[in-house]
Chains A and B, each alone.
Chain A
Amino acid sequence: MITTRGLSVKLGTKQVVGDITLEADAGALTAVIGPNGSGKTSLLRALAGEIPYTGSATINNDEVSVTPAWKLAMNRAVLPQFSTVMFPFTVREVVSMGGLASKKDLNDVPEQALTKVGLSGFGGRKYEELSGGEQQRVQFARVLVQVWKPVKDKKPSWLFLDEPISSLDIQHQLAIMNVARDFSRNGGGVISILHDLNIAAMFADKIILMLEGTALRIGKPAEVLKDSILKQAFNCDLKVGKAPSNPKQFILPQSVDL
């Protein structure tokens, strides 16, 4: 389980996350949504141990700020919003770096991870020669390799994803989100920042809606995705509906009020 108590983050002098208390369960996919600059990425970076915070944040009962890098890496993997790879590494070499923390022989895990993201047979290609969407999927595969088992030693592993599908076409958006959801269905935990509200509605078990550094609403999709709440957060008219054949909600923009 992931918990935060009064979590606050300052970048320079600006408070970007203020006093957030939340819980995220393993076995579920938690989506973090909210407008640009609402503190989503800073929240995730603080949970990842990447930036200092005040208050408390724990992963599987370990306080993040005092846990050494290698131990954090055994419990959670992080897909950043933007990834660059310097030097001409091959796809296989990049994906295999997911196994740095475990120091075990990876065998065919990298290949399996590539298959999961639809890049089977791409191992020999140079990373820098791939398209943006393919690179994003390679990075996703790398993250999967790091926490290959959703549950390890009876403790859940965690995937932190910052806009994992931002460069992907709709087919691969769904495919990657399915992989993430499978990971949670098998006992792991997923926290994913998402911009596409429909994807969030379709895949999330829980939604954290952020606005100006705080959590405006935390709850099940049906509790958070409401016309009035979304209007308050995103400052535009959105209509939440339900298709007859599908229990999930969908969100339709009405007009953009600029």
Chain B
Amino acid sequence: MTEFSESTARPATGARNAPLPGDRRAIARLTIAFLLVFYLVIAVISLNIGAAQISLSDALSAFTSPNDTSGARDRIILFDIRLPRLFLGTLIGAALAVSGAILQSLFRNPLADPGLIGISAGASFGAVLMIVLGGASLSFISITLGLFALPVMSFLGALIVTFLLYRISTRNGRTSIVTMLLAGIALQAFAFALTGVLIFLADDQQLRDLTFWSLGSLAGATWPKIFASGSIIVLSMATLPFLATGLNAMALGEATAFHLGIPVQKLKNAAITVTAAATGAAVAVSGGIGFVGIVVPHLLRLLIGPDNRYLIPASAILGACLMIFADMIARTIVAPAEMPIGIITALAGAPFFIWLLVRKRGILET
């Protein structure tokens, strides 16, 4: 009897499970599952690649027999160098890609990327402010916030830029793509100028820190930094399931999103805060890494469509994969020296951006 009732129930669910034309949710779930597997593969590879030759079996033995003295060096390399980098790459890649996806929905603009429209520059300013003045006039902040001082100041810098950008480029609920890009350029220039003033004030040691950091690198990966930035990134990501459907509705315009029952003002505030927090925390620890936020969501939209319920988690995973992959190149291409990862993402991302611009030229005229 049980079998009978099951078999009668099946056709209904079976019919619902068969994807209807235009329903891409099944493809999206499959893509996310595939990306997870891909992530695991690339993560394992990244643990095996670096200036020191450590093979997979060495790595495994370093994990499994912690008291083996011959594995001590391998253990240090794995636990204190490669593993934190893997963690950091995952966090930064996810944060930047997701920030891009959210900004694009919020601004209704496929060309939005935290690195291109001044948000990362604002975050950089906040971080530089802390690096240069954290020991002097702003020491009360470093004392109160401790480890979190840098990411929190970055977050504030990013928040101010994002908020200004939104106010400048949106009128009557419509965001002008051209105004947003131009305002982004202006705000970026302004943030760079302010950062320049600080760099002028910096001493030699600070300058060295700043230069390395500003090019973008995962080399500074240490467990305490990962904890500070990572907790902000993870916290901001945790809110995203509540924003995804609202961001979908924003594709139809702010007015229609409101008609559909979305509390638009709250959604915008939340989206701006989350993006600023994720970008700020990422920039604080890794400097300016551009184009991840524009490349990743765009590629995924081609594959699974623009539904943010799937686009955002998929972006997080693919962003992590790309960042780890870029870091592997950064670590090995000029080994034993290291290339700043921001150079690699820009080398790959900038042509992509131009291609996108040419392909979507029409939207700039709207």
Binding site for B on A (CB under 8 A): 45, 48-50, 68-74, 77-78, 80, 83-94, 97-98, 100-101, 107, 111, 121, 123-125, 146
Within the assembled complex, what's the spacing in Å between the Cα atoms of A118 and B109?
31
Which one of B104, B108, B259 lies within 8 Å of A78 (CB-CB)? B259
The answer to whether B260 touches A146 (Cβ under 8 A) is yes
The answer to whether B256 touches A69 (Cβ under 8 A) is no
Nearest residue, chain A, Cβ from B110: A87
**Minimum distance in angstroms from A105 CB to a CB of chain B:** 8
The answer to whether B263 touches A70 (Cβ under 8 A) is yes
The answer to whether A97 touches B249 (Cβ under 8 A) is yes
Q: Given A85-B251, A111-B20, A123-B23, does the pair A93, B307 have CB atoms closer than 8 Å?
A: yes
Within the assembled complex, what's the spacing in Å between the Cα atoms of A236 and B23?
50
Nearest residue, chain A, Cβ from B175: A86
User: What chain A residues lie within 8 Å of B256 (beta carbons)?
Assistant: 78, 80, 83
Q: Given A94-B252, A97-B249, does the pair A77, B22 have CB atoms closer than 8 Å?
A: no
Question: 17 new A-B pairs (CB below 8 Å) besides A85-B251, A100-B249?
Answer: A70-B261, A72-B259, A77-B259, A83-B252, A85-B252, A87-B104, A88-B305, A91-B22, A93-B305, A94-B252, A97-B249, A100-B260, A100-B261, A101-B260, A101-B261, A121-B21, A125-B22
Q: Given A77-B259, A98-B260, A100-B249, does the pair A124, B21 have CB atoms closer than 8 Å?
A: yes
User: What chain B residues lie within 8 Å of A50 (beta carbons)?
Assistant: 255, 258-259
Q: Given A89-B251, A89-B305, does the pair A68, B263 have CB atoms closer than 8 Å?
A: yes
- 8 interchain residue pairs of minimum CB distance: A124-B21, A73-B261, A92-B22, A101-B261, A87-B306, A90-B22, A123-B22, A124-B22
Binding site for A on B (CB under 8 A): 16, 20-24, 104-105, 108-110, 245, 248-249, 251-253, 255-256, 258-264, 301, 305-307, 366
User: What chain A residues lie within 8 Å of B104 (beta carbons)?
Assistant: 87
What are 30 inter-chain pairs, A to B, with CB distance below 8 A? A68-B263, A69-B258, A70-B263, A77-B259, A78-B255, A78-B256, A85-B251, A85-B252, A86-B108, A87-B110, A88-B306, A89-B251, A89-B307, A90-B22, A90-B23, A90-B24, A90-B305, A91-B22, A92-B23, A93-B22, A93-B23, A93-B306, A97-B249, A98-B260, A100-B248, A111-B20, A124-B20, A124-B21, A124-B22, A125-B22
The answer to whether A84 touches B252 (Cβ under 8 A) is yes
User: What chain B residues lie within 8 Å of A124 (beta carbons)?
Assistant: 20-22
User: What chain A residues lie within 8 Å of B255 (beta carbons)?
Assistant: 45, 50, 78, 80
Task: Determine which residue in B256, B301, B305, B306 has the highest number of CB atoms from chain A within 10 A of its CB, and name it.
Answer: B256
**Minimum distance in angstroms from B265 CB to a CB of chain A:** 9
Nearest residue, chain B, Cβ from A48: B259
**Minimum distance in angstroms from A189 CB to a CB of chain B:** 16
Nearest residue, chain B, Cβ from A146: B260
**Minimum distance in angstroms from A218 CB to a CB of chain B:** 25
Task: Determine which residue in B20, B252, B307 has the highest number of CB atoms from chain A within 10 A of its CB, and name it.
Answer: B252
The answer to whether B21 touches A123 (Cβ under 8 A) is yes
Within the assembled complex, what's the spacing in Å between the Cα atoms of A86 and B251?
5
Task: Determine which residue in B23, B255, B258, B261 has the highest number of CB atoms from chain A within 10 A of its CB, and name it.
Answer: B261
Q: Count of A-B contacts with CB under 8 A?
A: 98
| B contact patch SS | loop
Within the assembled complex, what's the spacing in Å between the Cα atoms of A31 and B146?
64
Within the assembled complex, what's the spacing in Å between the Cα atoms of A220 and B248?
41
**Minimum distance in angstroms from A6 CB to a CB of chain B:** 24
Within the assembled complex, what's the spacing in Å between the Cα atoms of A70 and B258?
8
Within the assembled complex, what's the spacing in Å between the Cα atoms of A239 and B156?
66
Q: Given A69-B263, A93-B22, A100-B249, does the pair A49, B301 have CB atoms closer than 8 Å?
A: no
User: What chain B residues lie within 8 Å of A49 (beta carbons)?
Assistant: 258
**Minimum distance in angstroms from A179 CB to a CB of chain B:** 19
**Minimum distance in angstroms from A113 CB to a CB of chain B:** 13
User: What chain A residues lie within 8 Å of B261 (beta carbons)?
Assistant: 69-74, 100-101
The answer to whether B306 touches A89 (Cβ under 8 A) is yes
Within the assembled complex, what's the spacing in Å between the Cα atoms of A73 and B248?
16
**Minimum distance in angstroms from B124 CB to a CB of chain A:** 29
User: What chain B residues lie within 8 Å of A97 (beta carbons)?
Assistant: 248-249, 252, 260
User: What chain B residues lie within 8 Å of A69 (beta carbons)?
Assistant: 258, 261-264
The answer to whether B21 touches A92 (Cβ under 8 A) is yes
**Minimum distance in angstroms from A114 CB to a CB of chain B:** 10
User: What chain B residues lie within 8 Å of A123 (beta carbons)?
Assistant: 20-23
Nearest residue, chain B, Cβ from A114: B22
User: What chain A residues lie within 8 Å of B249 (beta carbons)?
Assistant: 97, 100
Task: Determine which residue in A49, A70, A97 has the highest number of CB atoms from chain B within 10 A of its CB, and name it.
Answer: A97
Q: Given A87-B110, A88-B301, A124-B21, does the pair A73, B259 have CB atoms closer than 8 Å?
A: yes
Nearest residue, chain B, Cβ from A125: B22
**Minimum distance in angstroms from B173 CB to a CB of chain A:** 9
Task: Determine which residue in A70, A71, A83, A93 has the highest number of CB atoms from chain B within 10 A of its CB, and name it.
Answer: A93
User: What chain A residues lie within 8 Å of B264 (beta carbons)?
Assistant: 69
**Minimum distance in angstroms from B89 CB to a CB of chain A:** 28
The answer to whether B22 touches A100 (Cβ under 8 A) is no
**Minimum distance in angstroms from B256 CB to a CB of chain A:** 6
**Minimum distance in angstroms from A115 CB to a CB of chain B:** 13
**Minimum distance in angstroms from B363 CB to a CB of chain A:** 8
User: What chain B residues lie within 8 Å of A111 (beta carbons)?
Assistant: 20
User: What chain B residues lie within 8 Å of A146 (beta carbons)?
Assistant: 259-260
The answer to whether A87 touches B301 (Cβ under 8 A) is yes
Within the assembled complex, what's the spacing in Å between the Cα atoms of A78 and B366?
23
